[in-house]
Each structure stands twice: as structure tokens, then as C-alpha cells.
Amino acid sequence: MKKVAIITGASSGLGADFARQLAARNGLDELWLVARREDRLVSLAARQAVASDHPRLLPIVADLTKNGADKIRARLESEKPELRLVVLDAGFGRFATFEDSDKEELLGMIDLNIRALTETAKDALPYLRPGSGLILVASLAGLGPMGNIAVYAATKAYVLSLGVALGEELRKRGIKVTVLCPGPVSTEFDTVANKGAKNTMRGTVPSDKVVERCLRAFDRGRRFAFGHWTWALAPFGLRLVSRGFLARAAMKIMR
């Protein structure tokens, strides 16, 4: 039975760095890379195919806001692999007030950040074995209500809550669940969230460093990974302020 890891959102940012770093590990036969942009997936797979003892990188071109999860499920049912790791990274956000946001875009955000993540995690469970597990990419934004990015923060609060609960449920099966809660990372996220208005946010951390620390936390069976020591302080600091204050502060920062 071949050993497989799945990465959603693998065409750029954190997802691409998960692919690069997992491709350098032993113990995997294949990496299934899931994203919409075929050219990027093919390019990534070609660059990483450097040694026969590394896993094969197989692009799965799929739009998870539509029926993309069906492609993953069909492949699992057909090949019945042993899943060693599933990284649920696909997601996006947009900096705008709820009133000014496009309704279809908000619903698409919910479909990708919540529904597709939940569906893929559910479909993966029968193929996980003791010692394997899930990495759910949440966000520091999921720790509380955030003005000007309200729906995104709410979707990441769901991911955070789901990840913690799954960790407890799956503990008896020996399956690990790590929730990654990054702050600003050097990826395309902020460019997309601002519709190209700016290229980088202040205080960003390199994506590869965040992924490296997350994989280390997963290997050690940690429930949370933050990617930077200062981000790990956020849950404690946010307990000292009201939700209303946090939402107002976020409105100013995310303006």
C-alpha cells in the first residue's frame, strides 16, 4: 500500500512550501498536489522531481469551491492509499467591510475555507493510520472577530475550533491533528486580499520558515503551530481585551 500525502492550495504560498519540504522527506511514495492553477502545479512538480528516492508529485487540478473535493475522493476510493499527512491549506480572504464585499465572493470564501476543508478532512479519515494526521491551516484572525475581514476571520475561527475538536476525537486512533495559526506571512494572500493594492504586509515571516516550524510541531504531536514565537503570545493577549475592542482595532489595522 503506497504512502501518500495530500496538500490542498499547493500552487503557491504555504501550500507550495509544504510540497517542497515534504518532497525532501523519506517515507512517502507520492504527494498529491491540489489546486486550480495547473501550470503552477506542473511547474512545481517538475522542479521537485530531482531524485528517484523522493516521492512522486502528482498534480490534481481541482476547484474546491465547486466539485473539486469529488476528484480527491474519487482518487482515494480508486487507489486506497495509506495517507500519512493531509495538509488542508486552500483558502482565501478579502480586506473589505461586510457591506462593501461582493456577496458571491463571500459565499465562495465560506465554500472554500469551511465546506471544502470539512469535506476533504472527512473523506480522508478512513485512509489515515496511527502516526499519520491532519494539518489544518487556520489563522491568528480566527482567534476573534475582525472588522474589515469579518467573514474570513469567522471561517478561520471554524477551522480552529474544528481542528481542536478533531484532535481530541482522533487521539484514541493515534492520529495527530495540528492547527497552524499564522500571522502575516510572505505569500500571495495579502495581494489577493487587497485585489493587488499592495504586495506585502508589515511584519511578515517567510513562508518556508512557517512551514518548517509547523511540520516540526506536527512531528512532535503538538496541537498548535504558530510559525513564530511572537504569534504564540496572541491567544494569551487577546483574552485581556473585549471582542468589540478587537473588532474595532482590526478595522483600523485592516483598513
* Cα–Cα nearest to 186, from 167, 176, 201, 164: 201
Give the phi and the psi of residue 35 in degrees, each rounded to 5: -170, 175
How many whole angstroms separate alpha carbon 236 and alpha carbon 92?
26
How many whole angstroms separate alpha carbon 111 and alpha carbon 118?
10
Which one from 18, 32, 152, 224 is the annotated catalytic residue? 152
How many whole angstroms separate alpha carbon 100 and alpha carbon 149?
11
Is 127 one of the annotated active-site residues of the chain?
A: no
The number of angstroms, rounded, from the C-alpha of 91 to the middle of its chain's C-alpha atoms is 7
- Residue 1: other Cβ atoms inside 10 A: 10
Residues with catalytic annotation? 152
